[in-house]
Amino acid sequence: MTVTVPETRRPSRASRHEDREEQDAELLAALGHEQQLSRQFNMWSMLALAFTVLGTWSTLAQNLATGLRAGGPVSILWGLVLVTFCNLCVAVSLGELTSSMPTALGQAYWIFRLYNTPLGRFISYMCAWINTFGWWTLTASQTAFMTDFILAMKTMFDPDWAAAGYGWVEFLIYVGLTALLTFINIIACRKDRVLPWINNVVGVQFSVLFLAIAMALLISVGIKAHLAYQSGHFVFGTWINQTGWPSGVIWFTGLVQSAYGLTAFDACIHMVEELPSPSKTGPKVIWLSVAIGSLTGFIFMMVCLFCVQDLDALANADLPFIELCLETMGLTGAAVLLALFIINGVGQNISIMTTASRLTWGFARDGGLPFDRYLAVVSTYWSVPVRSLWAQGILIAFIGILYLFANTVLEAILSVSTIALTISYALPIAVLLYVGRDKLVPGPFTLGRWGYAANVVSLIYCSITTVFFFFPSDPNPAPADMNWAIAVFGVMLVIAVAFWFIQGRRSYLKTEQSLLRSVMSQEAEAGVVPLPLPSDDPVERVKSV
């Protein structure tokens, strides 16, 4: 007797895609949120975004003078190796938390879930403000860098152009760039594939530009008789201290340059609701972006150090990377590469603003920002949180007003981004160690027995670098040379605490209401009259989902 076995068919690609989307939406719902954004990215487009946001080699080039004065080549190269190891520990620590709880609010949400007490909710709220403030100032910082480079292009050909120093000229370019970036971020989400495509293009361009500039520097020095490469001893073994601080202090302050080039790897965390299979893919993108960024940064800094000609001119230049290009390639070659650098820098800024807007939206969605219900709306036409984007853009543009009368304050605000982001990384790791790693429900990516060591290294690194981020460049600075970042950060904390008492303690992360708030915002946009929210009584206990 012949038994006929029914043929089993493998699920189609479309069916598997639908199942994955359903699983991702269910996971997000378990965290108290509705799937509102399209999961339009894949691993490679998200890695391109994370790599360009990190922008390690270009960031290190922009801050080359800082490293040369504070430790020299030893600090630049070997400091980067140390910072890479520590940041990989931070990256995998945050990746483990992302795998467990993939949500746009990221670090702040994890604190709330791990330490669900009134104090834990307050710490979570402060972390959310610190993280959001860090991304706002990072966006402003990159925009300011591009403003400086655009004006430098003009002064390269016209050194006597006085308008380059006028605050209103800088302000207009800065605001124009901010408006352009905001507009691109809105229209790029009209079709699902456009924003990932832009990030892929920027990522490829960023990689090609890395190779092009590195090769141009090496070839220019090699073929010009009046130029010469620095020795291997200079590149790998020279210690320079032009700051007045003791060498022990300089070793730590010199790490600031490397740390600045390896900060903002939480980009994927805040974009994770637009990534399929976020618990698996998100952690991989986070640590890969740090590894690739560090490798390209080390190679590029090594090339720059071999090609340095006038060390003093470079160390004292306002824009040392431009000075290096002029020394080695001449005016025409430097101008061409600088133009490409600016174009790519604007592309990087698109990705930075995208990430910042998702965090702004996530914070509003969870009741943390003023006008949260208004800002939490995701436009059904543009498929993007348009209101959060415009609100963020206006706030960043307002920072540019300081070009007109307070450059010192502006520089302090722009420099505080690294401090804020580093603290936002340390807080959830510290809470995890405090409550015990056994309290973390593991996701697909887990550190296992290595978790405690990675967490401890991360916390020590973040604590030490945060302290030295606040140090001035020399021990006896004039008021104009002071590091006012600590004052700016203090003002931000005061603002955050004030909003906690005004609104946050009643509305922030009332988890049972998060999904309702999202639905109500969407219904309000569609013209449906929403039902009232449940009581926001601050005495009401917040339950875990």
- Rounded Cα distance between 430 and 40, Å, is 33
Q: Taking Cα atoms as reference points, which of 441, 346, 422 lies closest to residue 130?
A: 422
How far apart CA 468 and CA 210 sit, in angstroms, is 29
Question: Helix or strand or coil: residue 233?
Answer: helix
Select from 234, 341, 316, 416 the least CA-distant residue to 66: 316
Tell me how long the chain is: 545
Cα distance between the two ends of the chain: 55
pLDDT of res. 241: 85
Phi, psi of 70 (to 5 degrees): -110, 70
Cα 341–Cα 343–Cα 347 angle in degrees, nearest 5: 110
CA 188, CA 67: separation in Å to the nearest integer? 37
| Structural domains in the chain, sorted by start | 42-526 (1.20.1740.10)
Listed in sequence order, the residues at least 6 apart from 252 whose beta carbon sits closer than 8 Å to its beta carbon are 464, 465, 468
Rounded to whole angstroms, the Cα distance separating 426 from 456 reads 10
How far is Cα 511 from Cα 105, in angstroms, rounded to an integer? 13
Write out the H or E segment, with its range, that includes residue 70: strand 70-71
H helical segments located in 102-166? 107-114, 118-157
Neighbouring residues of 231: CB distance < 8 A, sequence distance ≥ 6: none
H-type alpha helices, 224-277: 232-237, 247-261, 267-270
Determine what percent of the chain falls in helix, strand and coil, rounding each to the nearest 5.
Answer: 75, 0, 25
For the entire predicted model, the pTM comes to 0.88
Instruction: Please list the residues that pair with 70 across neighbouring strands.
Output: 241
Q: What is the pLDDT of residue 319?
A: 80
**Which amino acid is residue 106, in one-letter code?**
G
CB 32 within 8 A of CB 102: no
Gap between the Cα atoms of 303 and 216, Å rounded:
10
Query: How many other C-beta atoms lie within 10 A of the C-beta of residue 171?
Result: 17
Q: Is the dihedral of CA 455, 458, 463, 466 positive or negative?
A: negative
Q: Quick count: other Cβ atoms within 10 Å of Cβ 313?
A: 15
134 and 355 Cβ atoms separated by less than 8 Å: no
| CA neighbor of 396 nearest in space, from 185, 112, 176, 198 | 176
Residue 303 buriedness (CB in 10 A; 0-12 / 13-18 / 19+) = buried
- Give the bridge partners for 433, in sequence order: none
Among the listed residues 89, 101, 97, the one whose alpha carbon sits nearest the alpha carbon of residue 455: 89
pLDDT, tens digit only, all 545 positions of the chain: 555 555 555 665 556 666 777 888 888 888 888 888 888 899 999 999 999 999 899 988 888 888 888 888 999 999 999 999 999 999 999 999 999 999 999 899 999 999 989 999 999 999 999 999 999 999 998 998 899 888 888 888 887 776 666 778 888 999 999 999 999 999 887 777 888 899 999 999 999 999 999 999 999 999 998 999 999 999 999 998 888 788 888 888 888 878 888 989 999 999 999 999 999 999 999 999 999 999 999 999 999 999 998 888 888 887 888 889 989 998 888 888 889 989 999 999 999 999 999 999 999 999 889 988 899 888 888 888 999 999 999 999 988 888 777 667 777 787 788 899 999 999 999 999 999 999 999 999 999 999 999 999 999 999 998 988 888 877 877 777 777 888 889 999 999 999 999 988 888 987 555 555 545 544 544 554 444 444 443 333 333 33
Q: What is the dihedral of CA 54, 418, 273, 389, to 10 degrees?
A: -100
Beta bridge partners of 240: 71
Strand, coil or helix: 283: helix
Q: How far apart are CA 274 and CA 295, in angstroms?
A: 27
For 159, counting Cβ atoms within 10 Å of its Cβ (0-12 exposed, 13-18 middle, 19+ buried), the class is: exposed
User: Which whole-number Å values give the CA distances from 29 to 82, 365, 545, in the listed order?
Assistant: 39, 14, 9
Torsional sign, CA 114, 119, 123, 128 = positive
